[in-house]
Amino acid sequence: MRMSKLFGKTLRDAPAEAEFISHKLLIQSGMIHQVSAGVYSYLPLAWKSLKKIETIVREALDAIGAQEVKLGILQPREIWQKSGRDEIYGPDMIRLNDRRNKELVLPPTNEELITETVKVMVNSYKDLPVSLYQIQTKFRDEPRPRAGLIRVREFDMMDAYSFDVDEAGLDKSYDFMLNAYKSAFEKCGITTVVVDADSGAIGGKDSKEFVLLSESGEDTVVLCTACEYAANDEKATFNKTMTSRAEKTGTLQEIRTPNIKTIEELTSFLGIDSKQTIKVVLYMADKDLVLAVTRGDLDINEVKLKNALKVAELRVADQNEINKQGIVAGFVSPVGLTKFTTIVDDSITHGINYVGGANKIDYHLTNINYPRDFTADIELDISIAREGDPCPQCTSELITRRGIEIGHIFKLGTRYSDSLGATYTDNDGKSQSIVMGCYGIGIGRILAGSIEEHSDDKGIVFPKSIAPYEVLIVGLNTNNEQTSLKAAEIYTRLSKLGIDILYDDRNETAGVKFNDADLIGIPIRIVVSTRNIEINLYEIKKRCDKEGILVSGENIEKCINEMLLSLEIIENV
């Protein structure tokens, strides 16, 4: 391909509205064009890269026996209503009516439709296991699309689904997929961390995310500095052991605390540690008021809380809702408030003689003990794990890092097969629900994530495996016939070897061409200049190196092949 014919133009400056490195460079390099908020057109350079990513993902899935399908995009809303996810997704899912007023959706994922398809095709245990996948456009009406290809309304995703006769079969399929993901991401040249994750709107009993660590990422992951513990902050926990239960419990007492409403004010007033206090946060869970109770030094993890309560909507109660229930804000206590659902963080079980509100203006209670003085409807982990907290596995220090979610795998169990009636007949002739897993990879996120990981102040530094082209030939003084002929000759010689080449034959200055070469980030650059060809030399440089080397004309093929091989080795280390 000649750059003079390539569709798309590079920009001198990055767009002002772009925040993420990948967003800036994808637009500046002429790879994508914004259609509207969260919707992009992919221009030839980006599209070539995306197709290479798709090929790598396909090969990884094919290698474990998964079969590719292509599902319909327009789907009947009723199957989403059957599964219950029509309500769960709410305004994030795009809904529409056809001319016959039939309700349809543009899906963000395809658990419902694939389950409906499989239940028609699978009758017996002999038909299982089976794994199916597709690479297709998905839709999500993001309230705040941002960060280029990372948070969009229209996106290409690989979604795969496994179907097994039992949980043991699901475990095998899940592990196969996990290893396939690792293989695909390694071949794409990106580094990911596998972390425990919340299952969100997809559901299921267990899930893991593949996260590319990046300071510009939207997600936060919690990692142990000593062992392999890793979790998304929505899922992460920590060791909450504090004091020995052997310490003697005191008698519940009421003390006057004038105008003391916050944990900080309370600890200062009494001269105690915040770990010795109780924090109560009031939430509206759907339409009911709920008390969330944790240790005073901790904060509520609203994802964990929402999952524990199994509600569609969760938000902090406003002042009117609190007043309506006769609750005294700033002095709230779980002691005596028995008419509301109370959910207690398990940190409370590790201490005694807490200080908390007295449900009375200007008063607190001392020596609060659980479960002596109050009980819980639910007791489990609902607090946020923070940097510096002890690891739940080895008690070493936890750290937090920002990251970009690239892939996600889920153990669904019978979540969808039960609601949609997907069954098989077992060896004894009995009907059983199919056990499912689902698996997703963001194709565009791999491209964006790669740029976040592989870029410098000059532009993109593409891994060889997903670069739009492997070699860029930069012809200087292209109005010189000898230079143009030599550049064209090298282009032909390397093309015969099956090397993917872009030839910059534009009538531009050397500065413009070199800047664009660095911006676009093709792994190897060959410079053909009038001065050097007179002595049969050509400058060859890897994008990742600071300096190039001079190579004689007859050794170009050998040098390029060696460089391409070295780039493959680097990516696979």
Query: Could you tell me the CATH number of the domain that includes residue 216?
Result: 3.30.930.10
Share of the chain above pLDDT 70, in %: 98
- Show the CA angle centred on residue 347, arms to residues 344 and 350, nearest 5°: 120
Into how many domains does the chain fold? 3
Domain boundary among 380, 414, 438: 380
242 assigned to some structural domain: no
How would DSSP label each residue in 486-503?
HHHHHHHHHHTTT--EEE
Q: State whether 363 and 262 are in the same domain.
A: yes
Q: Is 291 helix (H, G, I), strand (E, B) or coil?
A: strand
Q: Residue 301 above 90 pLDDT?
A: yes
Determine the average pLDDT of the residues in 245-264.
89
pLDDT at 312: 83
111 assigned to some structural domain: yes
Query: Could you tell me the CATH number of the domain that includes residue 300?
Result: 3.90.960.10
474 assigned to some structural domain: yes
pLDDT at 510: 94
Instruction: Judge if the upstream peptide bond of residue 468 is cis by omega within 30 degrees of 0.
Output: no
With contact defined as beta carbons under 8 Å apart, do 160 and 438 qualify?
A: yes
Q: State whether 422 and 481 are in the same domain.
A: no
Determine the average pLDDT of the residues in 205-224.
93
With contact defined as beta carbons under 8 Å apart, do 156 and 444 qualify?
A: yes
Determine the average pLDDT of the residues in 293-310.
95
Determine the average pLDDT of the residues in 287-313.
94
271 assigned to some structural domain: yes
Determine the average pLDDT of the residues in 101-129.
97
3-state helix/strand/coil string of 24-79: HHHHHCCCEEEEECCEEEECHHHHHHHHHHHHHHHHHHHHCCCEECCCCCCEEHHH
Determine the average pLDDT of the residues in 349-355.
94
393-447 pLDDT, tens digit per residue, is: 999 999 999 999 999 999 999 999 999 999 999 999 999 999 999 999 999 999 9
CA 272 – CA 265 distance, rounded (Å):
11
557 assigned to some structural domain: yes
Where in the sequence is the domain holding 431, given as residue range(s)? 21-67+107-235+400-452
With contact defined as beta carbons under 8 Å apart, do 528 and 501 qualify?
A: no
Q: State whether 227 and 343 are in the same domain.
A: no
Q: State whether 263 and 363 are in the same domain.
A: yes
pLDDT at 200: 82
With contact defined as beta carbons under 8 Å apart, do 8 and 45 qualify?
A: yes
Q: State whether 60 and 170 are in the same domain.
A: yes
CB-based contacts of 561, cutoff 8 Å, min separation 6: 497
Neighbours of 311 (CB within 10 A): 16
pLDDT at 205: 83
79 assigned to some structural domain: no
Q: Which residue, among 214, 210, 222, has the nearest Cα to 384 in the 3D structure?
A: 222
CA 152 – CA 150 distance, rounded (Å):
6
How would DSSP label each residue in 157-193?
EEEEEEEESSHHHHHHHHHHHHHHHHHHHHHTT---E
Identify the burial level of 2 via C-beta atoms within 10 angstroms of its C-beta, where 0-12 means exposed, 13-18 middle and 19 or more buried.
middle
Instruction: Judge if the upstream peptide bond of residue 145 is cis by omega within 30 degrees of 0.
Output: no
30-63 pLDDT, tens digit per residue, is: 999 999 999 999 999 999 999 999 999 999 999 9
Burial 396-409 (b: 16+ CB within 10 A, else e): eebebbebbbbbbb
The confidence band for 201, taking pLDDT boundaries of 50, 70 and 90, is: confident
Enclosing H/E stretch for 268: helix 263-270
CB-based contacts of 61, cutoff 8 Å, min separation 6: 68, 131, 133, 158, 160, 180
Q: State whether 258 and 361 are in the same domain.
A: yes
CA 445 – CA 438 distance, rounded (Å):
18
CA 571 – CA 186 distance, rounded (Å):
7
Query: Could you tell me the CATH number of the domain that includes residue 562?
Result: 3.40.50.800
324-342 pLDDT, tens digit per residue, is: 999 999 999 999 999 999 9
369-397 pLDDT, tens digit per residue, is: 999 999 999 999 999 999 999 999 999 99
Q: What are the two backbone dihedrals, phi and then psi, of residue 199, each rounded to the nearest 5 degrees? A: -85, -15
Q: Residue 477 above 90 pLDDT?
A: no
Q: State whether 208 and 61 are in the same domain.
A: yes
Q: State whether 561 and 536 are in the same domain.
A: yes
Q: State whether 46 and 184 are in the same domain.
A: yes
Can you read off the two tokens belonging to residue 390? 């002890």
pLDDT at 19: 85
Share of the chain above pLDDT 90, in %: 90
Q: State whether 118 and 182 are in the same domain.
A: yes
pLDDT at 245: 54
Average pLDDT, the chain: 95
pLDDT at 573: 55
78 assigned to some structural domain: no
Can you read off the two tokens belonging to residue 495? 């093309």
464 assigned to some structural domain: no
Q: State whether 409 and 524 are in the same domain.
A: no
Q: State whether 439 and 310 are in the same domain.
A: no
Q: Residue 246 above 70 pLDDT?
A: no
Domain boundary among 335, 352, 380: 380
CA 95 – CA 76 distance, rounded (Å):
10
Q: CA 497 → CA 3, 95, 527, 558, distances in Å?
A: 20, 50, 19, 11
pLDDT at 244: 54
